[in-house]
Amino acid sequence: MIYLDYSATTPVDSRVLEAMTPYFSASFGNPSSVHRYGQVAEAAIDSARETVASILNCRPDEIIFTSCGSESDNLAIRGAAYAMREKTGAKWILASRTEHPAVTKTLLHLEKYEGFLIEWLDVNEQGMVTPEIVSKAICENTAIVSVMYANNEIGTINPIKEIAGICRANNILFHTDAVQAAAYLPVDVNELGVDMMSLGAHKFYGPKGVGALYVRKGTPLVSHLTGGGQEFNLRAGTQNVPYIVGFAEALRLTHEEREQRVAHVKPLRDKIIGTVLETISDSRLTGDMEARLPQHASFAFKGVDGNLLLTLLDAAGFACSSGSACKTGNPEPSEVMNAIGLSRDWGLGSLRVTLGVHTTPADVDAFLNVLPGLVEKARQLK
């Protein structure tokens, strides 16, 4: 089986696992305890927080550890929405149409149950939120803008620095979901100018079930998980010490090895894009060709059932994705396919191929050998 779905999740780096292991057994203390067991655990968390802060170029007390990227998105958006409503009365939240469900569903919840007003920002045909789109949409009553750093489904990188600048100039909080981006793009929060940024470890060779939220000092935020005073009173619950240690080690290695990792995946990705567009009729790239994650290739094939293609690929030994959770029964194109303006006969035939540190040129060749035949087969079976 060849794994070509690194944007869904990555295997845990053995060095990360090694760093985590002592905190399951010998150093098992509760970081809130006063005794030495607690001190050891607390020191591990402090050190992890310092590592993450140094990579993000922020203060350690601006890092909140959470249980996943989704929770980070929830804390940022719910927390800032409640705080801004209390502080200024502003009720509008702007977010792009291509956000991850951790953002979109959270906003729909705030709209339905809390009376917030949501404006969905359009994207261009490459799936990008341009600074002009944001400039036009903001108004006096905008509380928060949330635009993802890079899209999980089509790999498009948004101009986060420019968008953050517009928000700052208008005194609007800006959050970015960097869960997909952090594996390959720089995450210096001062360079980016963001107020809040979500991360999740399992997209960069860390464990599943741990995330972090960067919150710029002074950003008004209300905790949505209440209880003990952990994480500066912003996220109650005994910290998951081994996973937090794993998060920091995975991010440290990602930061240290970023250039090598990009140099490894990018030519392989370019080969996939070039070959697919050349050899498969009625195929197109989805997302931006230039402003694109280096490990990410995504396509639409006209007249293909994307889920059927994934099943055929799986049977042939290749693990890929359509880029969104597949809906069985009555398939509908994903929100992202709709947002970039693809018609139904194209939008249903999406394929995402994402590479990682273990992908070899032979894997890519094997994939490219079978894909054209399987697309043809999927077209005939439809």
Ligand X SMILES: *Cc1c(COP(=O)(O)O)cnc(C)c1O
List residues with catalytic annotation. 326
With respect to ligand X, which residue has the nearer C-beta, 40 or 340?
340
User: Of 22-30, 42-50, 175-183, 303-311, which part binds ligand X (CB under 6 A)?
Assistant: 175-183
- Confirm if 37 and 26 have CB atoms less than 8 A apart: no
Cα separation, 284 vs 223, whole angstroms:
44
219 binds ligand X (CB under 6 A): no
With respect to ligand X, which residue has the nearer C-beta, 199 or 375?
199
Q: Site residues for ligand X, window 224-263 (CB under 6 A)?
A: none
Q: Following CA atoms 361, 367, 369, 374 in sequence, which dihedral angle do they give, to the nearest 10 degrees?
A: -170
Q: Site residues for ligand X, window 29-68 (CB under 6 A)?
A: 68
146 binds ligand X (CB under 6 A): no
287 binds ligand X (CB under 6 A): no
283 binds ligand X (CB under 6 A): no
Handedness of CA 59, 62, 65, 69 (dihedral sign): negative
Q: Are strands 92-96 and 117-121 parallel, antiparallel or unpaired?
A: parallel
Given candidates 70, 104, 176, 254, which one binds ligand X under the rule CB under 6 A? 70
Amino acid at 297: A
Given candidates 2, 40, 102, 280, which one binds ligand X under the rule CB under 6 A? 102
Q: Site residues for ligand X, window 180-209 (CB under 6 A)?
A: 180, 200, 202-203
Joined together, the tokens standing for residue 336 give: 């992202």
With respect to ligand X, which residue has the nearer C-beta, 148 or 280?
148
CB of 359 to ligand X, least distance (A): 18
CB of 308 to ligand X, least distance (A): 24
With respect to ligand X, which residue has the nearer C-beta, 53 or 210?
210
148 binds ligand X (CB under 6 A): yes
18-25, long-range: CB within 8 Å, 24+ apart, which pairs? 19/245, 19/246, 19/249, 20/207, 20/242, 20/243, 20/245, 20/246, 20/249, 21/242, 23/241, 23/242, 23/245, 24/242
Given candidates 51, 106, 142, 152, which one binds ligand X under the rule CB under 6 A? 152
Return the bridge partners of 5, or none.
Answer: 354
Amino acid at 194: V
Given candidates 31, 127, 207, 211, which one binds ligand X under the rule CB under 6 A? 211
**Which residue sits closest to ligand X, CB atoms considered?**
69
177 binds ligand X (CB under 6 A): yes
- Confirm if 118 and 130 have CB atoms less than 8 A apart: no
CB of 378 to ligand X, least distance (A): 26
Could you tell me the end-to-end alpha-carbon distance of the chain, in angstroms, rounded to an integer? 26
Binding-residue total with ligand X (CB under 6 A): 14
With respect to ligand X, which residue has the nearer C-beta, 7 or 359?
7
Residue where the block lists tokens 């790999």: 155
With respect to ligand X, which residue has the nearer C-beta, 243 or 346?
243
Q: Are strands 283-285 and 211-215 parallel, antiparallel or unpaired?
A: unpaired
In terms of C-beta density within 10 A (0-12 exposed, 13-18 middle, 19 or more buried), how is residue 381 classed? Answer: exposed
For 42, half-sphere exposure in the C-beta direction (CA atoms, 13 angstrom radius) is 11
Cα separation, 233 vs 231, whole angstroms:
5
321 binds ligand X (CB under 6 A): no
349 binds ligand X (CB under 6 A): no
CB of 48 to ligand X, least distance (A): 17
213 binds ligand X (CB under 6 A): no
With respect to ligand X, which residue has the nearer C-beta, 69 or 242?
69
Of 246, 230, 243, 192, the C-alpha closest to 214 is 192
100 binds ligand X (CB under 6 A): yes
User: Which chain residues interact with ligand X by CB under 6 A?
Assistant: 68-70, 100, 102, 148, 152, 177, 179-180, 200, 202-203, 211
